[in-house]
Amino acid sequence: MVVGDASLDIDTLVIGAGPGGYVAAIRAAQLGQKVLIVDKSELGGVCLNRGCIPSKALISAAHQYEAAKHADAFGISVENVKVDFAKTQEFKNGVVKKMTGGVAGLLKGNKVEVFNGECMFINENEARVFNDHESPRYRFKNCIIATGSRPIELKPFPFGGRILSSTEALNLQEVPKSLIVIGGGYIGAELGQMYSKFGAKVTIIEGMDSVLAGFDKDMTSLVTKNMKKTGIEIITGAKAESAEQNDKEVTVKYSVNGETKEVTAEYLLVTVGRRPNTDGELGLDLIGLELDERGFVKVDHQGRTSIPHIFAIGDIVAGPALAHKASYEGKVAAEVISGMPSVVDYKCIPAVVFTDPECSSVGYTEAQAKEKGHKVKAGKFPYAGNGRSVSLNHPEGFVKIVAEEGTGLVLGAQIVGLEASNLIAELGLAIEMGATLEDLALTIHAHPTLGEIVMEAAEVVMGHPIHIISR
């Protein structure tokens, strides 16, 4: 509690307790700083409350449901498989609660002071934080802004009623009979496929020529094949134009190949990207912090903004809007503030999509490596050649490795298939360490594991795989 309106002194103020902010706060405290973290909402930010964690909890539940329905391949017949989606939501909420509670414990254990309220800059060295009960002001030596992002709302599709952002889509209490998704990026593809597995009739309207347009076609074709299996209709090259809703349904008009068409469903999910939280009451304009033309905070290679003792990290900084990027930038900013020579290097930031099958990528694709002037060799090993994936009854997919001709230096990798999200880590490490194909091939991988696919993909590029015929 503050007496009068004198400023309290702290070393580092962290604004926003998402995966960027809370990680930065813990790292700064580990390095001996007196840290205050402020969040106007729940600890854990979008990631733990409205993003990564709840979406993956629901996706896991959808996989369980599907596995129970299709266990016959293993000789197991399960009758009368039913979903109680309210219970599924309870499971998801329980997961979120455990994770956010964990963050609270970590902050406390690292002696980070937490204030639940909104933060506004007063000047370059002071900020006021406030909630319904108090409004202390703090003088800080350094500040890390990590205020994250929110869903982009398009004028013809204002959120409300039957038009949902990802936040509401994660909180439906019943599986919708039908769902239209505008935007086939990773959030639209993940949530659309999850609801389709639970039985919703899903239609995805995407402007590009494929869903998950950032991934190679040979990867996304496996995802779209599976999407079609559960009845998802994918309309590509289409522009959604308007929506009309009543108390039962919503109709979307869209144009494709010069023709106007319409589709009706119980709900519409609009997921066309996210906008950085750099506007509003925070007062970045008041202190003259420089933003780029899209509203992202301009930073240098250490996360430092145009005001040298103020840093910015996570979704408010250009680059992929991903939790692990936010956390990575948070650690770098905390270390720089503590006098360490840390810098951000985005070479090994993995991208993962939790569709079925999963897609992941790290470093360069073959095309990107060539564009960068590398002489490249690349090769794929199929899941079908791996004992573990066949015994798991998931033989679809591949690991592709891109390496430099001559040195064998690993430049990038792309994976589509079961556990692609976990397998990519080894390839990220390979790039980070400057490992070669030979290093991957000489690493003994336990048998039978999916990890062997990585080793064998390296052998494919080297020209001597054991479990497929080398041509």
Active centre residues (catalytic): 447
For residues 141 and 149, is the Cβ–Cβ distance under 8 A?
no
Residues forming a β-bridge with 379: 401
- Residue closer to ligand FAD, measured from CB, 212 or 462: 212
Rounded Cα distance between 240 and 205, Å, is 7
Among 164, 187, 362, 457, binds ligand FAD (CB under 6 A): 187
* Residue 277 binds ligand FAD, judged by CB under 6 A: yes
Rounded Cα distance between 35 and 110, Å, is 10
* Residue 356 binds ligand FAD, judged by CB under 6 A: no
- Please report how close the Cβ of residue 468 comes to ligand FAD at its closest, in angstroms: 31
- Residue closer to ligand FAD, measured from CB, 227 or 313: 313
Stretch that binds ligand FAD, among 303-311, 323-331, 365-373, 389-397 (CB under 6 A): 323-331
- Please report how close the Cβ of residue 124 comes to ligand FAD at its closest, in angstroms: 16
For residues 195 and 176, is the Cβ–Cβ distance under 8 A?
yes
Among 282, 291, 362, 431, binds ligand FAD (CB under 6 A): 282
- Residue closer to ligand FAD, measured from CB, 146 or 411: 146
- Residue closer to ligand FAD, measured from CB, 277 or 436: 277
What letter represents residue 295's amino acid?
G
Find all residues with CB under 8 Å of 116, minimum gap 6, and list them.
38, 39, 40, 131
Among 10, 13, 14, 15, binds ligand FAD (CB under 6 A): 15
- Residue closer to ligand FAD, measured from CB, 314 or 357: 314
* Residue 41 binds ligand FAD, judged by CB under 6 A: yes
DSSP string, 50-119: HSHHHHHHHHHHHHHHHHHHTGGGGT----S----HHHHHHHHHHHHHHHHHHHHHHHHHTT-EEEESEE
Return the CA Rg of the chain.
Answer: 24
Among 184, 314, 408, 412, binds ligand FAD (CB under 6 A): 314
Stretch that binds ligand FAD, among 51-59, 78-86, 97-105, 462-470 (CB under 6 A): 51-59
Site for ligand FAD, residues 421 to 460, rule: CB under 6 A: none
Site for ligand FAD, residues 114 to 173, rule: CB under 6 A: 118-119, 146-149, 166
- Please report how close the Cβ of residue 20 comes to ligand FAD at its closest, in angstroms: 3
Spell out the SS3 assignment of 279-300. CHHHCCCCCCCCECCCCCECCC
For residues 204 and 233, is the Cβ–Cβ distance under 8 A?
yes
Burial 200-237 (b: 16+ CB within 10 A, else e): bbbbbbbbeebbbeebbeebbebbbebbeebebebbbe
Burial of 161 (0-12, 13-18, 19+ CB in 10 A): middle
What are the binding residues?
56, 147-149, 183-190, 206, 273, 315
Stretch that binds ligand FAD, among 230-238, 314-322, 363-371, 400-408 (CB under 6 A): 314-322
Tally DSSP H helices, then E strands, for the chain.
13, 22
DSSP state of 271: -
DSSP string, 191-219: HHHHHHHTT-EEEEE-SSSSSSTTS-HHH
- Residue closer to ligand FAD, measured from CB, 418 or 440: 418
Stretch that binds ligand FAD, among 66-74, 105-113, 156-164, 315-323 (CB under 6 A): 315-323
* Residue 366 binds ligand FAD, judged by CB under 6 A: no
* Residue 46 binds ligand FAD, judged by CB under 6 A: yes
Stretch that binds ligand FAD, among 212-220, 313-321, 359-367, 401-409 (CB under 6 A): 313-321
* Residue 39 binds ligand FAD, judged by CB under 6 A: yes
Rounded Cα distance between 178 and 160, Å, is 17
What is the binding site for ligand FAD (CB under 6 A)? 15-21, 38-41, 45-47, 50-52, 55, 118-119, 146-149, 166, 187, 277, 282, 314-315, 321-324, 326, 354
